[in-house]
Amino acid sequence: MPSLPAPFSFTSPPTNLSVSPLFTARSIDGILFSVFSSLGVPVLDRFCGPKWPIASFPRVWRSEGLLPLIPWQTMDLSPGTEEYIKESIEISLGLPVSVESLSLKLLASEDARRRLQDQIFDLEDRIKESSKRLEQSRAESKMNAQGVRRCVEEKEVIASQYADLVNHCRNLEEECSLYERDLERIMESCDELAKENEELRAQLQDISSLESLAAEAESLKKDKEHLRINLHRAEEEVKVFFEENKILDEENKKLLELLRKERRRQGSNSHPGSATPAKVTKT
């Protein structure tokens, strides 16, 4: 609706407006006030208060109070605004509206309906595009979830293998510690046997029977040889276990390196914004 310049007033009544003498100046006063109020125009009271658009409006209506006798002053309004005021007054007075006005209103409503229909079509297209994007996002999310699930499963397998290797390494360490204890006990036994041998050698001078002493010495030598053989075997077994432990440590380091690489790869593939699932190599 075109805006009305302020202030303004009327100078002459519309030429094609006919009203009943029953409508007094006070009735027209209320109608015009309603029209200008709906247009948002500041008005001044006929006598002193804020009601009419201009202060120069006649302070006293003619005593007859009929609409043709209302004094109108010049007003700078657009044709559309004048037509709107005219139609508002005619509708308020119950006068018939012209066919041209109704046609213009019908054309305006048809144009508004077409614009609304275009907006509806545009919104439907946007809804379809949003639905397509939503389906694509769901498909990508499903693929990403499958990739993450595979990564988690492979990670669990690697973690279980690592746990098994750790347990095996712990068992080997326990066995190595046991062998070390046995070796210490064997060394202690060898020391004790050496002491006994020294004692026997000291006693050998006092014993008259050299044959018995020689036999005992021979048996002690055999026992010592057996102990030496057992000690040598124990040392060989300890060396073998140390070699196996070393190999297991190297394998453990390799698995730890693979696990770190897998974690880094998984971290890079699960970066926000990635659309394709991460590929994980199985070890």
> Is residue 122 in a domain?
no
Q: What percent of the chain has pLDDT over 90?
A: 22
Which candidate, 255, 250, 196, places its Cα nearest to that of 221? Answer: 196
Which candidate, 3, 54, 52, 1, places its Cα nearest to that of 28? Answer: 52
| 3-state secondary structure (DSSP) of residue 239 | helix
Of 64, 97, 130, the residue that ends a domain is: 97
Q: Are residues 160 and 254 both part of a single domain?
A: yes
> Is residue 68 in a domain?
yes
* Each residue's pLDDT tens digit, 131-140: 999 999 999 9
Average pLDDT value over all residues in the chain: 72
Q: Count of domains in the chain?
A: 2
pLDDT over 80 (residue 233)? yes
Which value, to the nearest 10 degrees, does the dihedral of the CA atoms of residues 218, 221, 226, 232 take? -160
* Each residue's pLDDT tens digit, 170-215: 999 999 999 899 989 998 988 888 888 888 777 766 666 667 767 7
Of 97, 118, 140, the residue that ends a domain is: 97
* Each residue's pLDDT tens digit, 76-125: 566 666 776 777 776 677 667 677 777 887 888 899 999 999 999 999 99
Q: Which range in 4-18, 163-177, 257-271 is most confidently predicted, on average pLDDT?
A: 163-177
> Is residue 280 in a domain?
no
Of 32, 65, 97, the residue that ends a domain is: 97
> Is residue 199 in a domain?
yes
Q: Which domain holds residue 87?
A: 1-97
Query: Using the 8-state DSSP alphabet, how is residue 56 labeled?
Result: T
Q: Are residues 71 and 175 both part of a single domain?
A: no
> Is residue 46 in a domain?
yes
pLDDT band at 36 (very low <50, low <70, confident <90, very high): low
